């Protein structure tokens, strides 16, 4: 396993990408990471000194430019394509802002890999939004598996005024495009997708301030930043460190050739987050929101994570995830307060 294979990680200064790099290095791989600016690369290393001299950073300013990855994939044994737009507020052009970047970035990585004979597998970070039907009422009692697909059509994706639906569609159609590419071109490598639930976890990547949290951590942050807001929400979540290790599994397991793997820890219930954190940090009750009396609804849809477990993925406990995430969020906020 620790054969010092070289892995390209796209979007290495992002929330997930940074953890993927850490996980790969921990598991004995060499990492090359694409960044949009070298300042961000330096900031990532400053925040995570253990990455010093361990990641070879290369500049890819625009992942959808033609041949963006042509030279970057040279000598790589594996590719983890993590970079993809993640936002759904202020979407004005579904195609230009979400659908095209997700699709073109993925195809560009696959095309470049065709010219690098060393590449064995391309792992693509997809999402459970490519699997679950988020237009449906969440309390269906349904359990999704790797066999399911979000039914949204491309036409609907182009025209919907719902930014979240457009985001879901961008992941679905990028994943389908990747599968079709491999089926049609029959390249010398195969692919696999990792399909995570909402991602929470300690943010170790460069951010300009706490408001720039583009992730589900923003929801957690709103529960612990003193605003005392009480969004009573149920969803599905996974720890970013578990997704990171899922990428290693997706690279290494021959059985996962051209397959997809759900990674989800279980339900994310904001009331539980508040309860766990208020118990763990009794001195911070003034900062942490109070749980509401909205009861847990066990009819919320679920996703089946047994496939990932069959490959040895061990999930963090939700308690550990929430405590580690809150601790890191407070630490980052304190640093911003000191330096800005």
Q: Which of 173, 189, 221, 315 binds ligand NAG (CB under 6 A)?
A: 221
Is the distance from CB of 238 to CB of 200 less than 8 angstroms? yes
Q: Which of 9, 12, 13, 14 binds ligand NAG (CB under 6 A)?
A: 14
Phi and psi torsions of 78, nearest 5°: -140, 155
Q: Is 296 in the site for ligand NAG (CB under 6 A)?
A: no
Q: Is 233 in the site for ligand NAG (CB under 6 A)?
A: no
Q: Is 33 in the site for ligand NAG (CB under 6 A)?
A: no
What one-character DSSP code corresponds to residue 149? -
Residue nearest to ligand NAG (CB): 87
Q: Is 280 in the site for ligand NAG (CB under 6 A)?
A: no
Number of residues that bind ligand NAG (CB under 6 A): 14
CB atoms within 10 A of CB 134: 16
Q: Is 101 in the site for ligand NAG (CB under 6 A)?
A: no
What one-character DSSP code corresponds to residue 1? -
Q: How far is the CB of 291 from ligand NAG (least distance, A)?
A: 17
What one-character DSSP code corresponds to residue 290? P
Q: Is 286 in the site for ligand NAG (CB under 6 A)?
A: no
User: What residues numbered 179-218 form the site for ligand NAG, per CB under 6 A?
Assistant: 211, 214, 218
Give whichever of 211 and 298 is closer to ligand NAG, judged by the CB atom. Answer: 211
Q: How far is the CB of 28 from ligand NAG (least distance, A)?
A: 28
Q: Is 85 in the site for ligand NAG (CB under 6 A)?
A: yes
CB atoms within 10 A of CB 302: 19
SS3 call for 8: strand
Q: How far is the CB of 90 from ligand NAG (least distance, A)?
A: 6
The DSSP line for 191-238 is EEEEEE-EEES---S--SSGGG--STHHHHHHHHSS-------EEEEE
- Residue 263 CB contacts under 8 Å (≥ 6 apart), including other chains: 194, 195, 196, 197, 238, 242, 243, 246, 305, 308, 313
Q: Which of 2, 90, 92, 208 binds ligand NAG (CB under 6 A)?
A: 90
Residues that bind ligand NAG (CB under 6 A): 14, 85-87, 89-90, 211, 214, 218, 221-222, 225-227
């Amino acid at each position: 396993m620790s054969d010092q294979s070289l892995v390209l990680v796209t979007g290495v200064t992002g929330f997930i990408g940074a953890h993927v790099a850490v996980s790969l290095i921990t598991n004995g791989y060499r990492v090359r990471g694409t960044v949009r600016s070298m300042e961000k690369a330096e900031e990532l290393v400053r925040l995570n000194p253990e990455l010093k001299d361990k990641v070879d950073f290369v500049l890819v300013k625009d992942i959808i430019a033609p041949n963006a990855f042509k030279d970057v994939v040279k000598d790589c044994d594996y590719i983890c394509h993590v970079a993809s737009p993640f936002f759904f507020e202020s979407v004005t052009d579904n195609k230009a802002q979400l659908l095209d970047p997700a699709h073109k970035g993925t195809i560009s990585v696959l095309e470049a890999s065709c010219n690098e004979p060393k590449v064995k597998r391309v792992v693509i970070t997809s999402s459970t939004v490519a699997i679950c039907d988020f237009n449906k009422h969440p309390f269906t009692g349904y359990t999704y598996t790797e066999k399911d697909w979000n039914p949204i059509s491309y036409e609907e994706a182009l025209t919907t005024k719902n930014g979240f639906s457009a985001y879901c569609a961008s992941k679905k159609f990028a994943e389908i495009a990747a599968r079709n590419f491999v089926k049609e071109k029959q390249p010398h490598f195969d692919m696999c997708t990792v399909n995570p639930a909402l991602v929470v976890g300690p943010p170790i990547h460069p951010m300009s301030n706490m408001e720039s949290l583009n992730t589900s951590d923003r929801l957690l942050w709103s529960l612990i930043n003193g605003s005392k807001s009480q969004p009573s929400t149920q969803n599905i979540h996974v720890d970013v460190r578990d997704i990171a290790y899922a990428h290693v599994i997706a690279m290494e397991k021959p059985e996962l050739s051209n397959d997809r793997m759900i990674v989800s820890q279980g339900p994310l219930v904001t009331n539980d987050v508040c309860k766990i954190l208020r118990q763990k940090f009794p001195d911070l009750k003034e900062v942490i929101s109070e749980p509401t009396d909205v009861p847990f609804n066990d009819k919320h849809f679920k996703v089946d994570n047994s496939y990932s477990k069959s490959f040895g993925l061990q999930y963090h406990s939700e308690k550990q995830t929430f405590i580690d995430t809150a601790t890191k969020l407070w630490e980052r906020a304190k640093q911003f307060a000191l330096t800005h």
